[in-house]
Structure 1
Amino acid sequence: MKDFPEVNGWTVVPLSGDLDDFAAREVTQLLDVLVTGGAVRVVVDLAAVGFVDSTGLNALLAAARSARAGQGDLRLAGAAPMVRDVLDLSGVSAVLRLYPDVAAACA
């Protein structure tokens, strides 16, 4: 398992590429392992993500539910305008807090 940086008690998970059906499976598995392993305060860095589809959104929402069940939270940071539009239009941004960058998400 790859080590992820911790900032102010938040585990930062940088993602890159497209968060589509193929990648969503890996992201779901990764976030599940982190959360069940005790990292219930997670910031997903979306700065290098260029595209998100419904399976990617579901992966993020499932991880957030798991983190919250463990008395934690999942935050999203650094989404590019096109990704942010998808988060807004899908309603995900009403459920998951969006921050302009990792520093703001970990504050």
Structure 2
Amino acid sequence: MKDFPEVNGWTVVPLSGDLDDFAAPELRKLFDVLVDGGAPRLVVDLAAVGFVDSSGLNALIGAARRVREGGGGLRLAGAAPRVRDVVELSGVSAVLPLYPDVAAACG
């Protein structure tokens, strides 16, 4: 398992590529490992993500639900305009806070 940096008590998880139907199962596994490993506060860095669809959004929402059940939180950071638009138009940003960058999300 890859080690992820921690900033101000938040574990930063940088993602890259597309968050789609093909990536969603691996994304779910990653979040399961992180949550089961005791990372209750996650910042998902979307700066290198070029595309997200409903499968990717569902994986993020599922991770947020698991983290919240354990008393933590999940934040999204650094989304490019195309990804940010999908997150906002889908209504996911009402459930998962979207920050301009990792520094703001960890602040």
- TM normalised by structure 1 equals 0.98
**Equivalents in 1 of 2:17, 2:48: separation in Å?**
6
Amino acid at match of 1:75: R
> What is the aligned partner in structure 1 of residue 54 from structure 2?
54
Shift of 1:23: 0.8
Q: Is 1:12 aligned with 2:9?
A: no
Listed as ranges, the matches of 1:24-63 within 5 Å are 24-63=24-63
Report the count of equivalent residues. Answer: 107
Query: 3-state SS of the aligned residue for 1:22?
Result: coil
* CA-atom RMSD in angstroms: 0.5
Deviation at 1:62, TM superposition (A): 0.2
Q: TM-score, normalised by structure 2?
A: 0.98
**Which aligned segments of 4 or more residues in structure 1 are displaced greater than 3 angstroms?**
none
Matched position secondary structure for 2:50: strand
Identity of aligned residues (%): 80
Question: What are the ranges of 5 or more consecutive residues in structure 1 without an aligned counterpart?
Answer: none
Query: Cα deviation per residue 1:52-102 (whole Å; 9 max; x = unaligned)?
Result: 000000000000000000000000000000001100111100100000000
- 2:72 alignment counterpart: 72
SS class of match (2:45): strand
